[in-house]
Amino acid sequence: MYDFDFFGVHGYKVLQYRPVDNATLSQEFEPSIKTMLLDMTHHRFFGCSSNFSMASLLNMTEPETICSDTSGAYSENPYLFLSISTTSPSRSTFLRTERTEYGGNYADGAPSFILHYATADGNLTDTILLRSALTKLNFATVLKVCSSEMASIETLSSLSIFMHALNQYAAYLDHPRLFSF
């Protein structure tokens, strides 16, 4: 139902919504956030309600000034923990992985995670936001994600981090390996 492009520009990872070819989603199903900018150096992200052309992304200097519909920060010690703030409506959301390993911590591990809503102090709630799976062994170009809130800011901000883990895993699979017997 959804296609996203994931690429790097100016030290940011960009997750951008791309309408599926030959399919039109009704307004209620289309993501409200079309572009996520992930700053991995400072462990923060920004969400925009519009798509940007590659030219405008290449000319971007301060993403937080043009991309202020949502913002957040994350940490990876010991669990992946996200704190997300939205401007309209004004609210804060917290998310945490169930296990310490989610793929991002291990370059040779397939992205696999269960992400729960959490309290501000990092305790898990019973509500699961999403879970992932790679559906084909050693084929890391498609990440299957199951969620009841696929187009939400919580899901998209998390996916920008998980897509980076998927890229690391794909690079690991493509790297030549030597074995000795």
Instruction: Choose among 16, 9, 11, 13: nearest CA to 58.
Output: 9
- The neighbouring-strand residues paired with 117 are 95
User: Is 144 among the domain residues?
Assistant: yes
If one counts the domains in the chain, the total is 1
User: Is 180 among the domain residues?
Assistant: no
The pLDDT tens digits for 6-24 are 888 888 888 888 877 656 6
Q: Count CB atoms within 10 A of the CB of residue 93.
A: 19
Contact predicate 38/164, CB 8 Å: yes
User: Is 90 among the domain residues?
Assistant: yes
User: Is 179 among the domain residues?
Assistant: no
The average pLDDT across 157-161 equals: 83
- The neighbouring-strand residues paired with 147 are 130
The pLDDT tens digits for 18-71 are 877 656 666 677 788 888 888 888 999 988 888 777 777 777 777 676 777 888
pTM recorded for the entire structure: 0.81
User: Is 140 among the domain residues?
Assistant: yes
Tell me what pLDDT residue 25 has. Answer: 63
User: Is 115 among the domain residues?
Assistant: yes
Residue ranges making up the domain that contains 151? 3-174
Residues 6+ apart with CB under 8 A from 14: 5, 6, 7, 8, 35, 36, 37, 38, 57
The pLDDT tens digits for 111-133 are 678 899 999 999 999 999 988 87
State CA 9 to chain mean position distance.
Answer: 16
Residue 39: Cβ-neighbour burial (10 angstroms; 0-12, 13-18, 19+):
middle
User: Is 118 among the domain residues?
Assistant: yes
Measured over the CA atoms of residue 66, residue 71, residue 73 and residue 74, the dihedral's sign is negative
User: Is 14 among the domain residues?
Assistant: yes
Tell me what pLDDT residue 106 has. Answer: 47
